[in-house]
Amino acid sequence: MFARYLDQSYAPVVLKNLDRLVWARLVSNACYRFAPPFIAVIARGLDVTVAQLGVAFMIGEFAGLLSPVIGRFIDRGNRLVSMLFGVSLPTTSVIILAVAPNLWIFGAGMFLLSSSKVLFDTSLIVWVNDHVPYERRGRIVGIIETSWALSLFIGVAAMGITTALFSWRAGFLLGAVAMAISGALIATGLPRNDAHAPPQSIQRGKVPRNGLYIFASAFLLMGASQCVGITFGPWFEDEFGFTSLGLIVIVVVLGVFELGSSIGSSRVTDQWGKEKSVMRGVIAMAIAGVLMTVGHQFAFLAIPMLIIYVAGFEFALVSMLPIAANLVPTAGGIGLGLTVGAGTLGRAIFSSVATSLYDWVGPLGPAVAATVLAVLTALAISGYSRSLR
């Protein structure tokens, strides 16, 4: 399904295994992305406020601080083992989330889910680095990142429908079953003799000073996305009277536009240049953020601007990943791990900030924060581009 978008010049092992890897990534993304749109529903189920549940999300996102350690482990270790741990642990964590009796257990489940997702995502991208030259990675990373968009209108939509029909706990259980199946497909499909890091990839590497711009960009970009991603559910419920089924429709539409951004990135990022591609995505976010802030009380303006904002984020993120993985060419996991760590730290901090702002001043607060962070991201990526001259 996905491999057909690559020509035969790619390594046979990539062409043979791309489909199962993308599907596994899709399912893990769905489990990871399910909770934010339904944060108000889950909060009611746990008898807590949106802001209190935001703290649990923050705890979960702090797992991203393990990314540098995980990245170094992957650079020196077995790719297959890393990916298998990365798909088996989410199964356990999603079951914990499904049966969580209180906020603390839910937070622990989110932490385990986030850390295991970092492990799987990083090992997958490093596996790609092992088999695909840098100048050709933009296309394949773009294809892999379609799983982020597809996870919304396939995975999250299915889990959301299950939530509407039964409960949010049943939605998590559906994700756990799909995650277990994905792990079995990877375990039986990837070749064992290809699982270890190539000799050149285990050299010690040092992160260049201008890598700080990429880490800052990831922190700001992911924080910006989280500001709207974690609050649009209660925003649309409170302001526009949306139900769970209405949120599912929005989730599907967001997924369609994210998919378009991922496909667009895979086609043009290598041609435009990765830094310019990130910048263009972030500029779209900033413009949409301003209009979303101005029209946060009007559905006809707020909804399309949210969609454009999320699409711009997806385009920028997909374009940034090859840059991150090549910060240390001899050890891709280091740069990618630090970038993911910075990004998830941004998500962690702004999970709590955005939900607190929402409880304090309503949707205006998160919308303003998302806009400011998008502008700061543009400044950071501009600094990185200048450092290359």
Burial of 348 (0-12, 13-18, 19+ CB in 10 A): buried
Q: Tell whether 133 is covered by a domain.
A: yes
Q: Tell whether 195 is covered by a domain.
A: no
CB atoms within 10 A of CB 65: 16
CA atoms within 13 A on the CB side of 304: 4
Q: Left, alpha or beta for 242 (phi > 0: left; psi -120 to 50: alpha)?
A: beta
Q: How far apart are CA 170 and CA 164, in angstroms?
A: 10
Length of the chain: 389
Q: Tell whether 3 is covered by a domain.
A: no
Q: What is the CATH number of the domain that holds 125?
A: 1.20.1250.20
Of 197-206, 308-317, 363-372, the range with the lowest mean pLDDT is: 197-206
Look at the block and give the residue holding tokens 């601080």. 65
Q: Tell whether 2 is covered by a domain.
A: no
Q: How far apart are CA 284 and CA 303, in angstroms?
A: 15
Q: How far apart are CA 98 and CA 330, in angstroms?
A: 41
Q: 265 falls in which pLDDT band (50, 70, 90)? A: confident
**Of 319, 322, 309, 306, the residue nearest 249 (C-alpha):** 306
**Of 125, 150, 169, 309, the residue nearest 232 (C-alpha):** 309
CB 116 within 8 A of CB 86: yes
Q: How far apart are CA 329 and CA 207, in angstroms?
A: 10
**Of 106, 130, 120, the residue nearest 23 (C-alpha):** 120
Percent of the chain with pLDDT over 90: 49
Under DSSP, the state recorded for 78 is B
Range 315-319 average pLDDT: 91
Range 27-35 average pLDDT: 93
Q: Tell whether 292 is covered by a domain.
A: yes
Q: 202 falls in which pLDDT band (50, 70, 90)? A: very low
Q: How far apart are CA 307 and CA 256, in angstroms?
A: 10
Q: Tell whether 200 is covered by a domain.
A: no
Q: What is the pLDDT of residue 155?
A: 93
CA dihedral sign, ordered 247, 252, 257, 262 = positive
Q: What is the pLDDT of residue 18?
A: 84
Q: What is the pLDDT of residue 205?
A: 60
Burial of 81 (0-12, 13-18, 19+ CB in 10 A): middle
Q: What is the pLDDT of residue 242?
A: 92
Q: What is the pLDDT of residue 330?
A: 64
Q: What is the pLDDT of residue 310?
A: 94
CA atoms within 13 A on the CB side of 339: 28
Q: What is the pLDDT of residue 216?
A: 96
Range 63-85 average pLDDT: 74
Summarised one tens digit per residue, pLDDT across range 130-177 is: 778 766 777 787 788 788 888 988 999 999 999 999 999 999 999 999
Q: How far apart are CA 94 and CA 179, in angstroms?
A: 9
Cα angle 41-258-183, degrees, rounded to a multiple of 5: 75
Q: What is the pLDDT of residue 2?
A: 73
**How many domains in the chain?**
1
pTM: 0.76
Q: 88 falls in which pLDDT band (50, 70, 90)? A: confident
CB 364 within 8 A of CB 226: no
Q: Tell whether 269 is covered by a domain.
A: yes
Q: How far apart are CA 286 and CA 280, in angstroms?
A: 10
CB 287 within 8 A of CB 99: no
**Range of the structural domain that residue 89 is part of:** 12-190+205-387
Q: Tell whether 344 is covered by a domain.
A: yes
What average pLDDT does the structure give for the chain?
87
Q: What is the pLDDT of residue 123?
A: 82
